[in-house]
Amino acid sequence: MTGPWGLTRPTEGDIVRGGFSTPWDAPLVPPFPFRFRNAEILTLYWRTDPEALAFLLPPPLEPIGDVACVHVYRMHDPDRLGPYGEANVMVGARLGDREGAYSPYLALSSDGGVAHGREVHGQPKKLASPTLEVRGDLVVGRIERNGIDVLTGTLAYKQRAVGPEALKPFFDFATNLNLKAVDHIDGRPAIRQITSRRLSEVTVHEAWAGPCTVELRPNAQLPIFRLPVVEPLVGFHWRADFTLVPGEIIHDYLEAA
């Protein structure tokens, strides 16, 4: 059925296809794939409490090492979503012989990004205000939520150029692991999965490395402080293009049960 404004009413077949989102005449969640151009990223690694790291991993994931990292993004030009800020806290994890990085906390300033992350990937995204800026000779990344700077990280500006291979010294964060949990309206579990995805068509334009600082402040709604900074390790400031594509289910709790 063709309605006003040049819109076509979806059929039942349209509704059950992948990529469908509501409201159907102005969908919030973009379908795959969509491209991110000139994303600017501050990546900071720190050594943390290995028991705290292991506590945040859902079984059957197992920890890799005792290092956490945060990526603070300034998304300059993504399809559909428009410019926004994002932050992804990650820890090394494995499932059998598959290794990657699990995200216990994500924060961003885009409602479409929050919805897509939670509905599709199962990422624990919450609305916040991550920012990335250069202050003189210092790169500063912040995650603000509820008026509190939950994380503040710094890196000296462009002191040592490195290649893309240097960006992952402790674990392969390009393979992102997430816990997806969705219930039916009657409270029964509908989805309980460990999902995995890798970015596609990645082009790193430049990358710079150096010593970093990471400061955490408690916030009960975004408790990154539960991964305490034992020792700041290394930071990277880099720019890249990439495409977000479908991932895969690597563990289904309901099928296993």
The secondary structure of 145-198 as a DSSP string is ETTEEEEEEEEESS-EE--GGGG-SSS-TTEEEEEEEEE-TTS-EEEEEEEEEE
> Would the pTM of this model clear 0.85, i.e. be above it?
yes
pLDDT at 93 over 70: yes
pLDDT, residue 1, reads 60
Tell me the CATH number at 98: 2.40.400.10
pLDDT at 111 over 80: yes
Tell me what percent of the residues of the chain surpass a pLDDT of 70. Answer: 99
pLDDT mean over 115-131:
96
Tell me if 204 is assigned to some domain.
yes
pLDDT, residue 191, reads 98
pLDDT mean over 208-225:
98
Return d(Cα 222, Cα 230) in angstroms, integer. Answer: 19
pLDDT in tens, 46-74: 999 999 999 999 999 999 999 999 999 99
Residue 205 pLDDT grade (very low, low, confident, very high; cuts 50, 70, 90): very high
Range of the domain at 110: 32-256
Tell me if 24 is assigned to some domain.
no
Tell me if 128 is assigned to some domain.
yes
pLDDT, residue 8, reads 87
Tell me what percent of the residues of the chain surpass a pLDDT of 90. Answer: 91
Return d(Cα 191, Cα 22) in angstroms, integer. Answer: 19
Residue 132 pLDDT grade (very low, low, confident, very high; cuts 50, 70, 90): very high
Tell me if 231 is assigned to some domain.
yes
pLDDT, residue 7, reads 86
Catalytic-labelled residue, pool 125, 126, 158, 180:
125
Instruction: Give the angle subtended at the CA of 41 by the CAs of 127 and 178, to the nearest 5°.
Output: 55
Tell me if 13 is assigned to some domain.
no
pLDDT at 151 over 90: yes
pLDDT, residue 106, reads 98
pLDDT mean over 145-158:
98
Tell me if 202 is assigned to some domain.
yes
Dig out the tokens for 16 from the structure.
Answer: 């059950």
Average pLDDT, the chain: 96
Domains: count for the chain: 1
CB neighbour list of residue 20: distance below 8 Å, 6 or more residues apart: 10, 14, 27
pLDDT, residue 5, reads 78
Residue 2 pLDDT grade (very low, low, confident, very high; cuts 50, 70, 90): low
Look up 125 and say whether it is catalytic: yes
Tell me if 55 is assigned to some domain.
yes
Tell me if 7 is assigned to some domain.
no
Q: How far apart are the first and last CA of the chain?
A: 43
pLDDT mean over 138-155:
98
| Alpha-helix residue ranges (DSSP H) falling in the chain | 12-16, 50-55, 111-116, 253-256
